[in-house]
């Protein structure tokens, strides 16, 4: 398969994808040339982005902050939910401590955070 080899080619591919998207709705056949071109360009852009714009794994602190926002909780609320002190929550949110197995289990169950995120894997 062809590859995108420069930032200029990447930007051109993104522009072309924007042009193709309105032409490739659900009612368009899978073998339509626009659909085929969109699929090819999307794969090429994804490959380029994996190398040049990688997305790192989220930290437990980042995921906790997101979940707190989604659930409308502050540090005291999360502490009460997990049954630990607000100062311990502060340590976790600032990366100064790692959760114990018991706390990690509570985070998975009560905050609905994926185990692999809590365990850092």
Summarize pLDDT for 62-98 with one digit per residue, the tens: 999 999 999 999 999 999 999 999 999 999 999 899 9
> In this structure, are 64 and 102 located in the same domain?
yes
* pLDDT for the residue 111: 94
> In this structure, are 108 and 65 located in the same domain?
yes
Residue 74, SS3 per DSSP: coil
Euclidean distance between CA atoms 21 and 8, whole angstroms: 20
> In this structure, are 69 and 114 located in the same domain?
yes
Q: Give the global pTM.
A: 0.60
Is residue 1 one of the residues assigned to a domain?
Answer: no
Residue with tokens 């380029």: 48
> In this structure, are 66 and 106 located in the same domain?
yes
State pLDDT tens for residues 51-60. 999 988 888 8
Euclidean distance between CA atoms 55 and 67, whole angstroms: 19
Indicate the number of domains in the chain.
2
Q: Which domain holds residue 22?
A: 7-52
């Amino acid at each position: 398969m062809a590859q995108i080899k420069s930032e200029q080619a990447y930007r051109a591919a993104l522009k072309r994808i924007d042009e193709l998207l309105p032409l490739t709705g659900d009612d368009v056949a899978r073998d339509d040339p626009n659909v085929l071109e969109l699929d090819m360009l999307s794969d090429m852009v994804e490959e380029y982005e994996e190398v040049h714009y990688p997305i790192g794994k989220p930290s437990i602190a980042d995921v906790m902050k997101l979940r707190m926002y989604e659930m409308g909780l502050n540090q005291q609320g999360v502490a009460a939910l997990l049954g630990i002190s607000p100062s311990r929550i502060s340590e976790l949110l600032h990366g100064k401590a790692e959760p114990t197995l018991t706390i990690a289990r509570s985070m998975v169950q009560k905050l609905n955070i994926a185990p692999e995120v809590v365990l850092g894997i």
